[in-house]
Structure 1
Amino acid sequence: MSLDNVVEDIRDEARARAEEIKEAGEERADEIRSEAETEAEALVEEREVSVENQIKREREQALSSAKLEAKQARLGARRDVLQRVRSQVEDELVELEGERREELTRTLLDAASVEFEDEDEVHVYGRADDADLLEEILADYDGYEVAGERDCLGGVVVEGTNSRVRVNNTFDSVLDTTWEDNLKEVSARLFDDQ
């Protein structure tokens, strides 16, 4: 074998080796590209899921917030209606006249007078507009006298001079108690709650 043949053989081997390295490099580049594409696809999918979950959470939060606002608005409207009803009842109590006003005032005074059976002198306070009515009613009670005015819808506040007992039997106090005791039922009737 001649030197030229040996050189040619070495060159052929070098070319073959270079071709193998080139093919191996291309294969490795394809693998790297494929892995990168797979990772990129996985990352895109992961981000899409993350964004969808975030959108879902934000939608649920917005919906929850809207429901809460609607509930607060509904409760506010109910509160306003209940306040208007109560104001209307108060107005009707103020406007009560004649026998009905006298009957209710006597009933409240009778209920309070139980506390003052041992008293010689009892002071009665009432609404300024009811002064004449109270004078007329108290004519039937020994030791009872109108002692002044109270800012109220009607009824009486009764005090014993010896016992320091005070009984508040005003229309206001009766309405407060009745309102609290029946607020749930009133609300149910007004708003058709089941």
Structure 2
Amino acid sequence: MSLETVVEDIRNEARERAEEIRTEGETRANEIVDEAESEAEEILAEKEQEVANRIEREREQKLSSAKLEAKQKRLEARRDVLQEVRADAEESIATLGGDEREELTRSLLDAAAEEYESGNTVRIYGRPDDEDLLTDIVADYDDFEYAGEYDCLGGIVAESEASRVRVNNTFDSILEDVWEDNLQQISSRLFEQ
């Protein structure tokens, strides 16, 4: 065997080995690329899902916030309407006149009179505009006297030092009681759904 043959055999073996290494390298490189692409696809899918979840959460939060705001505005509007109805009722009561006002005032004074024993001086207070009416009505009761003004829509406040009883039979106090007792019903009638 000549040296050339040995060199040629070594070269052939080296080429074959180089080809094997190259083939193995390409195979391994393809595997690494495939793994990387697969991993990248998983990461991309994961990130897309995270973004979709975040978008859905934000959408739900905004929707919930919008619903809450709408509910608050609806409640504010209802409260405003109820205040207007109450103001209208107060205006109607304040402007009652004539026989109707006298009749209501007399019945409130009658109810207050039941709280006092005879012989006790009872002072009656009322709306400044009702002074003449109250003076006339009080004249019909023994031991009762008109004592002055009370800031109200009408009706009377009666008090006696002897019994230390104070009766608030003003239109305001009656309206307040009726309003509180019937607010749910009033609201239901105004805002039937």
Bin for the TM-score computed over the shorter chain? over 0.9
Cα deviation for residue 3 of structure 1 reads 2.3
2:89 is matched with 89
Residue identity matched to 1:155: G
Q: Work out the CA distance in 1 between the residues paired with 2:119 and 2:192.
A: 50
The reply on whether 1:22 has 2:1 as its aligned counterpart is no
Cα deviation for residue 2 of structure 1 reads 2.3
Output the aligned Cα RMSD: 1.1
Equivalent positions of 1:102-113 (< 5 A) are: 102-113=102-113
Q: Secondary structure at the match of 2:114?
A: helix
Residue identity matched to 1:110: D
The reply on whether 1:157 has 2:157 as its aligned counterpart is yes
Q: Secondary structure at the match of 1:76?
A: helix
| TM-score, with structure 1 as normaliser | 0.96
1:5 is matched with 5
Q: Work out the CA distance in 2 between the residues paired with 1:135 and 1:71.
A: 51
Cα deviation for residue 166 of structure 1 reads 0.8
Contact 1:119-1:161 at 8 Å conserved across structures: no
Q: Work out the CA distance in 2 between the residues paired with 1:149 and 1:50.
A: 72
Q: Secondary structure at the match of 1:125?
A: strand
Q: Work out the CA distance in 2 between the residues paired with 1:119 and 1:54.
A: 81
Contact 1:108-1:156 at 8 Å conserved across structures: yes
Residue identity matched to 1:68: L
Residue identity matched to 1:143: D
Gaps of 5+ in 2: none
The reply on whether 1:133 has 2:148 as its aligned counterpart is no
2:77 is matched with 77
1:116-170 per-position Cα deviation (integer Å, ceiling 9, x unaligned): 1255200110000111111111111110001110110000111012122111110
Q: Work out the CA distance in 2 between the residues paired with 1:17 and 1:119.
A: 133
Q: Work out the CA distance in 1 between the residues paired with 2:157 and 2:75.
A: 35
Q: Secondary structure at the match of 1:115?
A: coil
1:55-107 per-position Cα deviation (integer Å, ceiling 9, x unaligned): 11111111111111111111111111100000000000011011111111111
Q: Work out the CA distance in 2 between the residues paired with 1:33 and 1:120.
A: 108
Q: Work out the CA distance in 2 between the residues paired with 1:21 and 1:10.
A: 16
Q: Secondary structure at the match of 1:117?
A: coil
Identity %: 63
Equivalent positions of 1:31-110 (< 5 A) are: 31-110=31-110
| TM-score, with structure 2 as normaliser | 0.97
Q: Secondary structure at the match of 2:131?
A: helix
Gaps of 5+ in 1: none
Structure 1 segments, 4+ long, off by >6 Å, are none
